[in-house]
A and B are shown apart, each in its own frame.
Chain A
Amino acid sequence: MEGKIRANLLMCAGTGCVASGTPKVKAALQEELQKRGLADEIKIVLTGCNGFCAEGPVMLVYPEGIFYQKLTVDEIPKLVEEHFLKGRPYEKLMFREPEKKTAIPTMNEIPFFKHQVLRVLRNKGLIDPENMDEYIARDGYLAAAKALTEMTQADIIKTVKDSGLRGRGGAGFPTGMKWEFASKSVADQKYMLCNGDEGDPGAFMDRSVMEADPHSVIEGMIIGAKAIGASKGVIYVRAEYPLAVKRLQLAIDKCREAGLLGENILDSGFTFDLEIYLGAGAFVCGEETALMRSIEGKRGMPRPRPPFPAHKGLWDKPSVLNNVETLAQIAPVILHGAEWYKTLGTEKSTGTKVFALTGDIKNVGLVEVPMGIPLRTIIYDIGGGMKNKKKKFKSVQMGGPSGGCIPEILIDIPVTYEDVVKTGAIMGSGGMVVMDEDTCMVSTSKFFLEFTADESCGKCTPCRVGTRVMLDMLTDITEGRGKDGDIETLQDLSRDIISTSLCGLGQTAPNPVLSTIRYFRDEYESHIKDNWCKAGICRKLCSFHIFEDLCKGCGACLRGCPQQAIAGEKKQPHRIIQELCIQCRSCYDTCKFGAIKIGPAGCKDIKAMRELLEKVKEVKG
Chain B
Amino acid sequence: MARLTIEDLKKIKEKQKSTFSLREGGYRAKITVHMGTCGIAAGAREIMSALLDEIALAKVEDVITTTSGCAGLCAREPMATVEILNRPPVKYGDLTADKMKEIFREHILGGNPVEKYALAVGSETTY
Interface residues of A (CB under 8 A from B): 13-16, 18-19, 22-23, 46-54, 102-110, 112-113, 116-119, 121-130, 133-134, 136-137, 139-142, 145, 149, 204, 207-208, 211-213, 241, 243, 254, 257-260, 266-267, 362-367
Q: Is the CB of B126 within 8 A of A119?
A: yes
A16-B123, A117-B127 provided; 9 other pairs, C-beta below 8 A? A48-B124, A49-B124, A51-B121, A53-B88, A129-B68, A142-B10, A211-B70, A258-B4, A365-B73
A106:B121 contact, CB within 8 angstroms: yes
Q: Is the CB of B124 within 8 A of A107?
A: yes
Closest to A209 in B: B69
Distance in angstroms from B115 CB to nearest chain A CB is 5
Q: State A10–B77 Cα separation when bound (angstroms).
A: 31
Question: Provided the pairs A137-B17, A366-B70 are in contact, do residues A108 and B121 lie with their beta carbons within 8 angstroms?
Answer: no
The answer on a CB contact under 8 Å between B17 and A212 is: no
Give residues 66-89 of B contacting A (CB, 8 Å): 66-76, 79, 81, 86-89
A123→B13 CA distance, assembly (Å): 14
- CA–CA, A260 and B1, complex, Å: 11
Q: Which residue from chain A places its CB closest to the CB of B81 in the assembled complex? A: A125
Q: Is the CB of B71 within 8 A of A106?
A: no
Known: A104-B113, A104-B121. A121 touches B72 (CB 8 A): yes
Known: A22-B127, A365-B75. A142 touches B122 (CB 8 A): no
Q: A110-B119, A124-B70, A128-B67 are in contact. Are A136 and B9 (CB under 8 A)?
A: yes
Can you name the residue of chain A whose Cβ is closest to the Cβ of B115? A103
Contacts of A121 in B (CB 8 A): 72
Please give me the residue from chain A that is nearest to B89 by CB atom: A53
- The answer to whether B72 and A367 have CB atoms under 8 Å apart is yes
Cα–Cα distance between A263 and B81 once the two chains are bound (Å): 39
B43 at interface by CB-CB < 8 Å:
no
Bound together, the chains give a CA A551 to CA B11 distance in angstroms of 72
CA distance A112 to B10 in the complex (A): 34
Do A18 and B16 have beta carbons less than 8 Å apart? Answer: no
Supposing A54-B87, A366-B74 touch, asked if A105 and B124 sit within 8 A by C-beta, the answer is no
Once bound together, how far apart are the Cα atoms of A109 and B124, in whole Å?
11
Decide yes or no whether B120 CB sits under 8 A from chain A: yes
Q: CB within 8 Å of A: which residues of B?
A: 1-6, 9-10, 12-13, 15-17, 20, 32, 34, 36-38, 40, 66-76, 79, 81, 86-90, 113, 115, 118-127
Chain B residues whose CB sits within 8 angstroms of the CB of A104 once the complex forms: 90, 113, 115, 118, 120-121
**Which residues of A lie under 8 Å from residue B66 when comparing CB positions?**
128
In the complex, A134 Cα to B21 Cα: how many Å? 12
Closest CB-CB distance, A69 to chain B, in whole Å?
Answer: 13
> In the complex the two chains form, is B1's CB within 8 Å of A52's CB?
no
Contacts of B115 in A (CB 8 A): 102-104
Contact of B9 among A145, A213, A243, A254 (CB under 8 A): A145
CB neighbours of B2 from chain A (8 A):
258
> In the complex, what residue of chain B is closest to A128 when comparing beta carbons?
B66
With A19-B17, A53-B88 known to touch, is A124 a contact of B127 (CB < 8 Å)? no
- A145 near B6 (CB under 8 angstroms)? yes
Are B6 and A243 neighbours in the complex by a CB distance under 8 Å?
Answer: no
Residues on A with C-beta less than 8 A from B68 are: 124-129, 212
Q: Quick one: closest A residue to B92, CB to CB?
A: A104
Q: Which residue of A lies closest to B14 (CB)?
A: A137
Return the chain B residue nearest A212 by Cβ: B69
Rounded to whole angstroms, the CA-CA distance of A23 and B89 in the bound complex is: 21
Whether the Cβ atoms of B5 and A14 lie closer than 8 Å is no
Sorted from nearest, which 7 A-B pairs have the closest CB atoms?
Answer: A212-B69, A137-B16, A49-B122, A259-B3, A125-B71, A51-B88, A13-B127
Also in contact, A363 and B73, with CB within 8 A (given A102-B113, A212-B68): yes
Instruction: Give chain B nearest CB distance to A483 CB in angstroms.
Output: 42
Measured between beta carbons, the chain A residues less than 8 angstroms from B127 are 13, 18, 22-23, 46, 117-119
Q: List 8 A-B contacts (CB under 8 A).
A: A49-B88, A51-B121, A112-B73, A116-B124, A136-B13, A136-B16, A204-B38, A258-B2
Using Cβ atoms and an 8 Å threshold, which residues of chain A touch B38?
A: 204
Whether the Cβ atoms of A141 and B9 lie closer than 8 Å is yes
Nearest-neighbor residue (CB-CB) of B11 within chain A: A136
Partner of A362, one of B17, B75, B123: B75
List B contacts of A102 (CB < 8 A).
113, 115, 121
Contact partner of A118 among B89, B113, B125, CB < 8 A?
Answer: B125
Residues of A within 8 A of B122 (CB): 14, 48-51, 53, 106-108
Knowing A125-B34, A208-B36 touch, does A116 contact B69 (C-beta < 8 A)? no
Contact residues in A for B121 (Cβ distance below 8 Å): 51, 102, 104-107
